[in-house]
């Protein structure tokens, strides 16, 4: 019997390899199922993405060609649920372990809900400290908050993933696991790659700003910093603000300020009034951008408040509905960003991507609304203090050049500080 490890190996391959290896060191047999769509998997899985989508009644080529992320997540969830149920019926499944953000959580917990009570089910999720009813359902799914986003291996993510693997090993085998070889001082993102003496940078990420943050993270890590990525899910932003106040953060790469939009419009991922304040109070160098301010987050479509029913929506996945912010809302958000950064006591720079603030806010994409973006940009210009550096780049937020500019600017501010 084997533990089924479910996830997207094109975006989180290193993290899944880390958990797989730890389980195997504990003497646990592992089957890795790949639910990725776009890039090739980081390593060869035991159950391919082709098998996952075939189990859902389609095929990988069709899903990739359709380029509909929400539908792809829905089909991947259906496929892994069927595969998990089949493995259990054959007596080949001892438990299910998943890692991920909203998409990864939707996919892996579908497999868990397809199994009877008593089969170990553990989901390491960036959403685990919030509303999890849609993921748990009526099954005994254990949700473990990842603390930081599942985007690279660092001192926090390793500790969480170690505990997750050990918990699963304990449930299926009842045997202790030797500690991980950590730290070793390596800087390659592998097991034991992070040294505790590295200064720490906090960054914020959403699925729609992932390319930007991932590219910037590589620049910062190559400069000798450890980067903690926080999923901008309300809990993620709140956790980051707390660590900054605790004096643990040397710099902040606040690419994804979307939680402010949820606070403004009553979305489900609000942090509350203290978002984008800790670095300002503590004097921590920060680079701030406008990532995913084009959207407000709600749960399934039927949970959207009645007053918003006529707005523009995008179904990110079956459990996440995105609502496009209007020019009026963007104007208010621009003022909010400007006022909060203008109150900073430390080095601060606001970087503006003039060609769009998220993966679905680009020409030809569902949330492309130039007038709304223009209202945001102009409001920032109108209200930002003259002593706060404002940099406008004729690039999309996910352009590699924009990511590098953000990372280099933060390094510059930290060095000056």
Instruction: Dump pLDDT digits (tens) for 28-68.
Output: 999 999 998 888 999 999 999 999 999 999 989 888 888 88
When divided into structural domains, the chain yields a total of: 2
Last residue of a domain, one of 152, 172, 192: 172
Domain that residue 17 falls in: 2-172
* Pair 13, 97 in one domain: yes
In a domain, 178, yes or no: no
* Pair 163, 216 in one domain: no
* Pair 263, 127 in one domain: no
- What residue ranges of the chain have pLDDT lower than 50? 175, 181-194
In a domain, 307, yes or no: yes
DSSP secondary structure, 297-353, as one string: EESSGGGS-GGGTTS-EEEEETTEEEEEPPHHHHHHHHHHHHHHHHT-SS-EEEEEE
Cis peptide before 183 (omega within 30 of 0): yes
* Pair 155, 225 in one domain: no
* Pair 54, 167 in one domain: yes
* Pair 214, 164 in one domain: no
In a domain, 365, yes or no: yes
Are the C-beta atoms of 345 and 283 separated by less than 8 Å? yes
* Pair 376, 412 in one domain: yes
* Pair 272, 207 in one domain: yes
* pLDDT score for 290: 98
Place of tokens 């304040």: 277
In a domain, 192, yes or no: no
* pLDDT score for 289: 98
- Taking the alpha carbons at both ends of the chain, their separation in whole angstroms is 55
Instruction: Dump pLDDT digits (tens) for 300-359.
Output: 999 999 999 999 999 988 889 999 999 999 999 999 999 999 999 999 999 999 999 999
In a domain, 269, yes or no: yes
Retrieve residue 10's tokens. Answer: 């094109």
In a domain, 361, yes or no: yes
* Pair 16, 110 in one domain: yes
Strands lying side by side in the sheet with 295-298: 295-298, 320-324, 313-317
In a domain, 189, yes or no: no
Last residue of a domain, one of 172, 188, 221: 172
* Pair 87, 214 in one domain: no
CATH number of the domain within which 395 lies: 3.40.50.12030
Q: Which of 39, 38, 35 is nearest to 5 (CA)?
A: 35
Last residue of a domain, one of 125, 155, 172: 172
* Pair 92, 238 in one domain: no
* pLDDT score for 329: 98
CATH number of the domain within which 86 lies: 3.40.50.12020
In a domain, 186, yes or no: no
pTM for the whole structure: 0.76
Q: Which helix (H) or strand (E) holds 201?
A: strand 200-205
Are the C-beta atoms of 346 and 285 separated by less than 8 Å? yes
* Pair 139, 283 in one domain: no
Angle at 346 between CA 204 and CA 247, to 5 degrees: 65
Strands 389-393 and 295-298: unpaired
């Amino acid at each position: 019997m084997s533990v089924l490890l479910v996830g997207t190996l094109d975006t989180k391959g290193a993290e899944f390899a880390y958990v797989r290896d730890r389980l195997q060191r504990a003497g646990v047999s592992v089957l890795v199922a790949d639910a990725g769509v776009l890039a090739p998997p980081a390593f060869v899985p035991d159950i391919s993405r082709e098998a996952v989508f075939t189990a859902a009644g389609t095929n990988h080529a069709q899903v990739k060609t359709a380029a509909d992320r929400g539908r792809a997540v829905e089909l991947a969830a259906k496929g892994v649920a069927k595969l998990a149920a089949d493995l259990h019926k054959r007596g080949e499944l001892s438990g299910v372990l998943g890692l991920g953000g909203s998409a990864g959580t939707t996919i892996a917990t579908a497999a868990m809900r397809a199994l009877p009570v008593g089969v170990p089910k553990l989901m390491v999720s960036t959403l685990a400290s919030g509303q999890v009813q849609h993921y748990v359902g009526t099954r005994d799914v254990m949700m473990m908050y990842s603390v930081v986003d599942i985007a690279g291996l660092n001192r926090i993510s390793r500790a969480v993933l170690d505990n997750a693997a050990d918990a699963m090993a304990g449930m299926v085998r009842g045997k202790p696991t030797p500690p991980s070889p950590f730290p070793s001082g390596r800087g390659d993102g592998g097991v034991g790659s992070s040294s505790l003496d590295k200064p720490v940078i906090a960054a914020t990420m959403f699925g729609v700003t992932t390319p930007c943050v991932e590219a910037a993270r590589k620049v910062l890590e190559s400069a000798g910093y450890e980067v903690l990525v926080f999923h901008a899910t309300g809990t993620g932003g709140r956790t980051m603000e707390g660590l900054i106040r605790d004096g643990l953060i040397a710099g902040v790469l606040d690419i994804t300020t979307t939680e402010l939009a949820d606070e403004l419009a009553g979305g489900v991922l609000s942090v509350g009034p203290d978002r984008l304040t800790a670095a300002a109070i503590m004097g921590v160098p920060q680079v701030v951008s406008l990532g995913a301010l084009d959207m407000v987050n709600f749960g399934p479509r039927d949970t959207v408040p009645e007053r918003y029913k006529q707005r523009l929506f995008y179904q990110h996945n079956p459990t996440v509905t995105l609502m496009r912010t209007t020019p009026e809302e963007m104007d208010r958000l621009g003022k909010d960003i400007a006022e909060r950064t203008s109150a900073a006591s430390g080095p601060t720079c606001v970087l503006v991507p003039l060609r769009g603030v998220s993966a679905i806010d680009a020409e030809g994409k569902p949330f492309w609304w130039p007038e709304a973006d223009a209202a945001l940009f102009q409001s920032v210009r109108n209200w930002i203090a003259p002593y706060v550096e404002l940099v406008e780049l004729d690039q999309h937020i996910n352009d590699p050049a924009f990511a590098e500019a953000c990372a280099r600017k933060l390094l510059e501010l930290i060095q000056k500080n």
